[in-house]
Amino acid sequence: MTTEIREALNAVQDSIAVPRVDEVRFQALVRSERRRRTGVRLVAGLVAAVVAGVGGTLLVTGVGDADRGTDVAGPPDGPGRSAPVPVSLGGRLAVVTPDGAVVGSGVRVQEVVGATAGGVVVVARDHHVRLVPVARSGGETTFGRPRDLAGVPVRSAHLDKQGLFLAFVDLDDTLHFREVGADTDYQSTSLDPGETVLGIDGGSYTGYSSSLGLVLHSREDGGQGGAELTRTQVGISFPADTAELADLTLAVGTSDGVELFDASPSAAPRFGGSLGGGVSSLAPRGDVVATATSSAQSSRGMSTGVWLLDAFSGEQLPVRDYDGGPALDIAWVDDDEFAVLTDADRAELWVCDATERTCGQRLVAAEGTLSLPTS
């Protein structure tokens, strides 16, 4: 007797009883989604990632650890306490735990690219992009042996907002796309002369060059197996500092604020001009942008703060309890939380909860250079 897969699966599909729509549950999900998008409290679906142990000899102060310094702002409480944050600290990869402790890896890095399920992707000092495995066991965080992800030196490396796909530019200015951990590319393309990659999503990417400005390269899949990249010049008002892609949204960060576009070949602007602060980061789902006042804006008299910007409506909502002054950088650490790095001699790391719309200070770096993931 033969069993044909398609026939079997179709039979299963036809046989399964379709439940009625749970209207109450569905409306609750819709309300939650709307609230989440606008930053109002949703569900505190945050799972504590308890990590312990301090590695290295980094001169930093955890906010919740009074034994290791004087920069104590009080016990850890409330928001922004659940996601560990990968950082570059003193030129080495480290993870800042929810309680403000620092676990150093000892791995020297040029930059921390971002987090994936299996660990943290970094560009090492030898220009190789590597995955540093991170594991938790018995309440302790341990780092595994770094694994080369590209096999060649890279000019730059980028993760998509979900941490699934890696893109890197080799020394011949070819942009390679592959799944994190895969040995082969699923796509590669030559960059335009002088082009710098700013963001990726799937096979699409944004690039900036002085000659062409900001260009969105949208991947369009054809029916005969062909995938084409459609190039669209994006009409921005100021030079782009960042140009991030996630889902339906292209968010361009400029010194004046955030300019939002459709992440499609039209690159249609959503709103006129820029919104929010001069430091920004698009959320992994592409629906919200976290923004903060930059030092340049602060010096022009703009009050400092952190806001959530709805990428579809343009609505801006303030985030409470942030007292870190002008910001230098922002990076999302999961779907609900983002980290803010302050622009000061003693850099402070704040972690904000987009659903609670509150922030908490997590770390004060007394020495060494602290920087956030770049993707």
- Closer by beta carbon to another protein, 134 or else 214: 134
* Angle at CA of residue 40, ends 247 and 200, nearest 5°: 20
Residue pair 306/352 in contact (Cβ under 8 Å)? The answer is yes
- Closer by beta carbon to another protein, 23 or else 172: 23
- Closer by beta carbon to another protein, 28 or else 66: 28
Tell me the closest approach of the beta carbon of residue 134 to another protein, in angstroms: 8
Handedness of CA 189, 218, 226, 158 (dihedral sign): positive
Tell me the closest approach of the beta carbon of residue 267 to another protein, in angstroms: 13
Tell me the closest approach of the beta carbon of residue 315 to another protein, in angstroms: 13
Euclidean distance between CA atoms 366 and 71, whole angstroms: 9
- Closer by beta carbon to another protein, 186 or else 367: 186
For the residues of 67-114, what is the DSSP string, one character each?
Answer: GG-S-------SSS-SS-EEEEETTEEEEE-TTS-EEEEEEEEEEEEE
Tell me the closest approach of the beta carbon of residue 299 to another protein, in angstroms: 36
Where do contacts with another protein occur on this chain (CB under 8 A)? 1-19, 21-22, 25-26, 29-30, 32-34, 37, 47-49, 83, 116-118, 134, 136, 162-165, 178-179, 182, 184-187, 202, 221-227, 248, 262, 264, 285, 287, 312, 334
First to last CA, the chain: 53
Residue pair 130/116 in contact (Cβ under 8 Å)? The answer is no
Q: What residues form DSSP beta bridges with 131?
A: 121, 147
Tell me the closest approach of the beta carbon of residue 343 to another protein, in angstroms: 29
Euclidean distance between CA atoms 72 and 83, whole angstroms: 20
- Closer by beta carbon to another protein, 250 or else 327: 250
Q: Would you state the structure tokens that stand for residue 59, as one six-digit string? A: 């001169």
DSSP element (H, E) containing 5:
helix 5-15
Q: Would you state the structure tokens that stand for residue 205, as one six-digit string? A: 């990417």
- Closer by beta carbon to another protein, 248 or else 296: 248
DSSP annotation of 193: T
Tell me the closest approach of the beta carbon of residue 17 to another protein, in angstroms: 7
Euclidean distance between CA atoms 334 and 85, whole angstroms: 9
Tell me the closest approach of the beta carbon of residue 82 to another protein, in angstroms: 8
- Closer by beta carbon to another protein, 34 or else 147: 34
